[in-house]
Amino acid sequence: MRNHAKPVPAVRRLLVVCAHPYDATFALGGVIGAFADAGTSVHILCLTHGRGPDPSPRCRLDRARDLGRAVRRLGAEDVMLLDHSPGTLGTANLDELADEIQEAAAAADALLVVDATGRDAHPDHVRTMRAAYRAATATGTVLYAWTLRPAEPGVGRPVLVVDADRARQRAAIACHTGLPADDPLRSRWMRHQDPTERLVVLRAERMLAPANRPPAVGEEGDDHDDDTTTDHPAGARHRQEGAAAPHPVRARTA
């Protein structure tokens, strides 16, 4: 099933949930920019600080700063990083992850994740999607997933096609100064330059799926002076903007 929704569905506040910092720009950047352009208040929750073993404290701060700058270029209002170790989300406690996402999503009316329903999906992305699905079901929130898989007419979940501003996404990607110029992530993104993006509707408000039944892997359908980046330890309870958080580390964006 394929529907056109240009620029994007009407969403007041969107929480983007990503496993790794680069997911927000290389994968989801086109969609984030489209929602922001439509007047949506966009907020980012990143569960880790990278793709591999935990970097040095200095590298973590630099990466958080770069991500803050990147998402501001895309039009997002802020980003929060949790302290889960990259590569370990696949074995993380699903209920705890869902609770963290649910708390961050308290004021959101839609969530956005990377589609991890393919059989070759990264385990961190699979766990992130499952936890987001559980959180969305618990709160009655819409859940979208950015996907590269082509839609099959009349089959599976609805797929929305939205416009993407590649120039804006390119400017955001340029903020990741610590990512080597020859990193394969950059070349993979360059091969994906379609003027549109596709969103799978994993959960709509009218769907009454139980919280314990996330979409199965392989299932069809499936810089400013403001402080905009916050680090939190894994399991820490993040709060609404303006409230005190337990020992946050903030990175300035330029």
Task: Please say whether the dihedral angle defined by the alpha carbons of residues 90, 247, 14 and 138, taken in this order, is positive or negative.
Answer: positive
* Domain ranges, ordered by start, for the chain: 2-238
Assigned CATH topology for domain 2-238: Rossmann fold (3.40.50)
**pLDDT score of 85:** 87
Task: Please say whether the dihedral angle defined by the alpha carbons of residues 123, 94, 32 and 246, taken in this order, is positive or negative.
Answer: negative
pLDDT by residue for the chain (254 residues), tens digit each? Answer: 455 456 689 999 999 999 999 999 999 999 999 999 999 999 999 999 876 666 677 888 888 999 999 999 999 999 999 989 888 898 999 999 999 999 999 999 999 999 998 888 889 999 999 999 999 999 999 999 999 877 665 557 889 999 999 999 999 999 998 888 888 888 888 888 899 999 999 999 744 444 444 454 434 333 333 444 555 544 443 333 333 332 333 333 33
Q: How far apart are CA 25 and CA 18, in angstroms?
A: 10
Q: Which residues have CB under 8 Å from 19's CB, separation 6+?
A: 46, 47, 48, 86, 89, 114, 122, 124, 125, 127, 128
- What is the value of pTM for the model shown? 0.79
Q: Which residues have CB under 8 Å from 238's CB, separation 6+?
A: 80, 82, 100, 103, 104, 230, 232, 245
